[in-house]
Chain A
Amino acid sequence: MTCDWVPKLDLYVDGELSGGELKEVEVHLQTCPTCAADALNRLQLKRMTQSAGRRFSARPEFRLKVAQSIDAAKPPRWAWRWAPVLAAAAALVLMLIPAAVWLQYSRSEQALGELADLHVSTLASANPVDVVSSDRHTVKPWFQGKLPFTFNLPDVETSPFKLIGGRLAYFQQSPGAQLLFDVGKHRISVFIFQNRAELSRLNSGSSLTTKLAFNTESWTEGGLWYFVVGDASPSDVHDLSELLRSARS
């Protein structure tokens, strides 16, 4: 007579039972020697079949051939995997170049605008300068100990320019000298700072440019960055710049 549990034995051996069913079968196997022997035989046949069934192995050259035909059938890897990335990167670069140029231009405008503001606020002050003197040998020493650098002032005696004096200026968290000159009824500020990469990027060459209706000129010399700004004529701003560049003491 066949036990009622026999149909469950394949499921048991194949690991298809779980939870309550698995427990029931296990309990039955402990009490039914016929089913226990049957389950063991089924398991043994399964193991032997597994071992006998792993019979054929592919020739290495065939494996290689399949691998090659798969590679040939695939689109070039870089094309399908990286093409969208490369396209996106190229698009980004194309977008970033004008953005960087514009950003640089806008920063430069803003920085030079700040210096122009500094010039205007100096003129608006009741005490525009801290050292009042037309003597360059008074003004220059006044900065000693106040600035981490020194600079040369030109002799303006024979020129239309007149030195009014000087004061400490701060621009982009750095101290510098601001010198005030008169030419006719106009005033011109000369800013001198230690040159930094950000400052030399602001240079509009030595040529005159106009910022906010002020005429300006900037240049770099001897590790210092010079910026001349005023409402005087472009030629006056340029002449003063020339005098400063020629100063030797």
Chain B
Amino acid sequence: MPMFTSLYNFAHWLAHNREEAEDLVQEAYLKALKGFASFQQGTNFRAWMYRILRNTFLTSRSGLGVKMTVPLDREEDAVGPPTDTPEAALLARADQQMLQSALERLPVQFREVILLCDVEEMSYREIAEIIGIPIGTVMSRLSRARKSMRELLAEKMRGASK
């Protein structure tokens, strides 16, 4: 089965629990199998599979709630690193668990772009294709997602140092 490991990981991050992630993956594969005729040869198969999985999630129980709370994408929100905590010091003290917990707390729209870009190492074009948004929006959303990540990490550090 192509991409099983990474698709499952992505589904688990979206759904937050094993049972739902398993349902999503199984349904996505069956949908892909049924709809294979609609896949256009020569286009990106990986993006097609992820789009099916993501759409399956959006129509699932927990996905329906997510749709209601899509944050507005504002280009002007594209920002640099926060200035209150020195970045290098922050990252030096962060561990895997802190990053995982920060990722978990991110809104799903931010979490998915970070997962697709940083974990799955997809191009902005692929991400745009999967989510169905323009490349410019991918860039600004990614920038805001990373800013939120840093803020959550800084928050965690402050909590830990108290």
* Chain A interfacial positions (CB closer than 8 Å to B): 2, 6-7, 9-11, 14-16, 37-38, 40-42, 44-46, 48-59, 62-63, 65-67, 69-70, 73-74
Contacts and interface: CB of A to CB of B under 8 A. Distances in A.
Interface string B127-162: 000000000000100110010011000000000000
A69 B33 CA distance: 11
Given A46-B118, A53-B118, A63 B4 contact: yes
Contacts of B96: 48, 51-52
Given A16-B124, A38-B81, A62 B22 contact: yes
Interface residues of B, number: 41
A106 to B, nearest CB: 47
Contacts of B34: 73
Interface stretch (B5-13, B37-45, B51-59, B63-71): B5-13
Contacts of A6: 80
Interface in B1-24: 1, 4-5, 8-9, 12-13, 18, 21-22
19 contacts: A2-B80, A10-B146, A14-B142, A38-B80, A41-B81, A45-B150, A49-B103, A49-B119, A51-B96, A52-B96, A52-B100, A53-B9, A53-B13, A53-B119, A55-B100, A59-B22, A62-B8, A69-B26, A73-B30
A58 B13 CA distance: 12
A44 B119 contact: no
Contacts of B146: 10, 42, 45
B29 interface: yes
Contacts of A11: 139
B8 A55 contact: no
A14 B142 CA distance: 11
Given A38-B87, A41-B88, A66-B26, A49 B78 contact: no
Contact of B119 (A15, A54, A70, A74): A54
> Which of B22, B80, B91, B143 has the most A CB atoms < 10 Å from its CB?
B80
Contact of B29 (A10, A40, A45, A66): A66
B9 A54 contact: yes
A70 B1 CA distance: 9
Contacts of A44: 91
B94 A48 contact: yes
A62 B5 CA distance: 11
Contacts of B149: 45, 49
A38 to B, nearest CB: 6
A51 B80 CA distance: 23
Contacts of A9: 80
Contacts of A59: 18, 22
B25 interface: yes
A231 to B, nearest CB: 71
Given A10-B139, A41-B88, A73-B34, A66 B13 contact: no
B47 interface: no
